[in-house]
């Protein structure tokens, strides 16, 4: 049974559209720990052709940017954003406060992303179309493809950012026409926002009930457990279900283009920009390590190709995630106002990712969420170490493998600084102890399920040590025994 939520208005008192400005405390304006920072970086693009398909492989490269980058950017939403022409009109990135510096789409610390999904009510078929973002007053490297939409198509959009906050700004009534939600009056979510998502999910869920749309089964991971979803407590962090899986091509002069095989061929040597997101962490990193496959749908901008997407992940999780199911809790930093839980903002966020609304904050208890996180995540991170410790870290500067990255990410979520303060709510230390080197890079992690000696959520800034044999503690190195990466 679908529960409807009245979404917050984003218009002025006289019906005029206005920017949803954030009244954020210093705590809310902190730079979040990126859930997948390398995917928020610039990576060299390699194209491999196999048969009729084109597969895109990313190889991280080093990019340097000024230390003080304006983390707060605004995205100008084009007119009629839910139409074919609106989808093909580039979004424009500008600084929310120009006095803090400019915002540039090619700057990996500021890049904004848009992900679109289209559903045909008659057939239940979903397609993906990712609109392009450019700098204001700059042209696209290649004009976006104008998609062909089915009759009576329902279109929705989701947004992500590699900066700290992304504010949506109207042009020609675009926020009203697109039914866009950036947060609630006076407080934006942060990096995330959406347009027309509840209507899209209503049609999708109706199609699922009618048997027209069938979310694929999860499959079995290499560890013998069900493949995880975005609502699995082994995947979530302090702000689950945020950001998107969109990629863009970036040229050396700062222009951008949609990520398509045709554009890659035309532009030659270039880079891709990708969004650090929970969705990409699952679809690319974790699924790759565990032998799982993300649900994908046809890309309307790139015939013959398919893409994973936020709405596909949420629909699949809703259909197949076993209990306990992770749903956005009241303490999620993206749903609080001045550090305090907000029922209105929580429900507005949940509506954008097809999660049930609640009547009160107790129904979205952060303490209960933390207990499920404790019961599930550390054990699976430990069990999957044999697969994740030989996989590349999502952020090479933060961790030396996917395993140590996940361990560090758990402790960030567990702690108070930037996390859910699970330690305070449960009065329990994290069972994961992360070892870091002199540069603060996570190099190993151990597990202590005897709560007397757990981790407070802070990192242990000591050099990497040998395996510990203490009773109740297990040590797993972030790399293989030789200290070298395995060849792929």
Q: Taking residues 310-333, report their average pLDDT.
A: 98
CA distances from 385 to 55, 290, 390, 409 (A): 27, 10, 8, 14
Which is more confidently placed, 99 or 34? 99
Q: Using an 8 Å Cβ cutoff, are 47 and 261 in contact?
A: yes
307: which strand partners?
A: 297
Nearest to 330 by CA among 441, 240, 197: 240
**62-71, 99-108, 241-250: the lowest-pLDDT one:** 62-71
**Separation between Cα atoms, residue 485 and residue 117, nearest integer Å:** 38
Is 10 a residue whose pLDDT tops 60? no
**Separation between Cα atoms, residue 157 and residue 248, nearest integer Å:** 16
Looking at the whole model, is its pTM more than 0.75?
A: yes
Nearest to 38 by CA among 70, 55, 18, 62: 62
| Mean pLDDT of the residues in the chain | 84
For residue 215, give every residue at least 6 positions away whose Cβ sits within 8 Å of its Cβ, in sequence order, or none. 208, 295, 312, 315, 316, 318, 319, 320
Tokens of 38: 């390398």
Tokens of 84: 């074919």
**Separation between Cα atoms, residue 467 and residue 202, nearest integer Å:** 51
pLDDT tens across 422-472, in order? 999 999 999 999 999 999 999 999 999 986 545 555 545 443 333 332 223
Categorize the per-residue pLDDT at 192 as very low, low, confident or very high, splitting at 50, 70 and 90: very high
Tokens of 411: 């402790």
Tokens of 441: 């890079």
pLDDT tens across 128-172, in order? 999 999 999 999 999 999 999 999 999 999 999 999 999 999 999
pLDDT tens across 257-270, in order? 999 999 999 998 78
């Amino acid at each position: 049974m679908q529960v409807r939520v009245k979404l917050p208005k984003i218009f002025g008192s006289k019906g005029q559209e206005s920017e949803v400005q954030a009244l954020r405390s210093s705590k809310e304006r902190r730079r979040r720990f990126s859930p997948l920072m390398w995917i928020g970086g610039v990576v060299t693009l390699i194209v491999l052709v196999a048969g009729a398909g084109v597969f895109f492989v990313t190889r991280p490269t080093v990019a340097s940017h000024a230390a003080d980058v304006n983390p707060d950017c605004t995205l100008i939403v084009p007119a009629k954003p839910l139409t074919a022409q609106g989808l093909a009109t580039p979004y424009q990135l500008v600084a929310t406060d120009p006095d803090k510096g400019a915002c540039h789409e090619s700057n990996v610390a500021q890049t904004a992303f848009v992900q679109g999904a289209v559903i045909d009510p008659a057939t239940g078929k979903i397609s993906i179309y990712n609109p392009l973002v450019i700098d204001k007053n700059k042209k696209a490297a290649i004009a976006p493809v104008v998609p062909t939409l089915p009759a009576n198509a329902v279109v929705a959009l989701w947004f992500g950012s590699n900066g700290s906050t992304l504010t949506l700004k109207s042009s020609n009534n675009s926020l009203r026409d697109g039914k866009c939600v950036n947060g609630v009056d006076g407080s934006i979510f942060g990096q995330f926002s959406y347009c027309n998502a509840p209507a899209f999910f209503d049609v999708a869920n109706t199609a699922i009930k009618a048997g027209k749309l069938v979310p694929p089964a999860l499959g079995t991971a290499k560890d013998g457990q069900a493949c995880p979803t975005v609502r699995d407590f082994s995947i979530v962090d302090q702000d689950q279900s945020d950001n998107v899986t969109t990629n863009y091509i970036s040229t050396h002069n700062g222009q951008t283009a949609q990520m398509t095989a045709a554009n890659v061929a035309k532009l030659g040597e270039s880079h891709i920009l990708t969004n650090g997101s929970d969705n990409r962490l699952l679809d690319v990193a974790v699924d790759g390590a565990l032998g799982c496959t993300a649900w994908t749908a046809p890309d309307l901008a790139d015939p013959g190709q398919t893409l994973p997407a936020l709405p596909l992940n949420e629909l699949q999780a809703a259909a197949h995630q076993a209990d306990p199911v992770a749903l956005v809790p009241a303490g999620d930093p993206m749903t609080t106002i001045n550090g305090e839980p907000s029922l209105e903002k929580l429900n507005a966020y949940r509506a954008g990712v097809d999660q049930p609304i609640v009547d009160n904050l107790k129904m979205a208890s952060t303490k209960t969420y933390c207990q499920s996180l404790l019961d599930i995540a550390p054990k699976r991170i430990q069990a999957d170490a044999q697969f994740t410790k030989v996989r590349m870290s999502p952020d090479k500067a933060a961790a030396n493998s996917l395993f140590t990255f996940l361990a560090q990410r758990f402790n960030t979520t567990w702690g108070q600084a930037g996390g859910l303060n699970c330690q305070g709510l449960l009065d329990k230390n994290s069972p994961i102890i992360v070892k870091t080197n002199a540069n603060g890079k996570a190099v190993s992690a151990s597990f202590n399920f005897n709560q007397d000696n757990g981790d407070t959520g802070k990192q242990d800034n000591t050099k990497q040590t040998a395996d510990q044999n203490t009773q109740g503690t297990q040590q797993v190195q972030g790399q293989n025994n030789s200290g070298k990466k395995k060849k792929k």
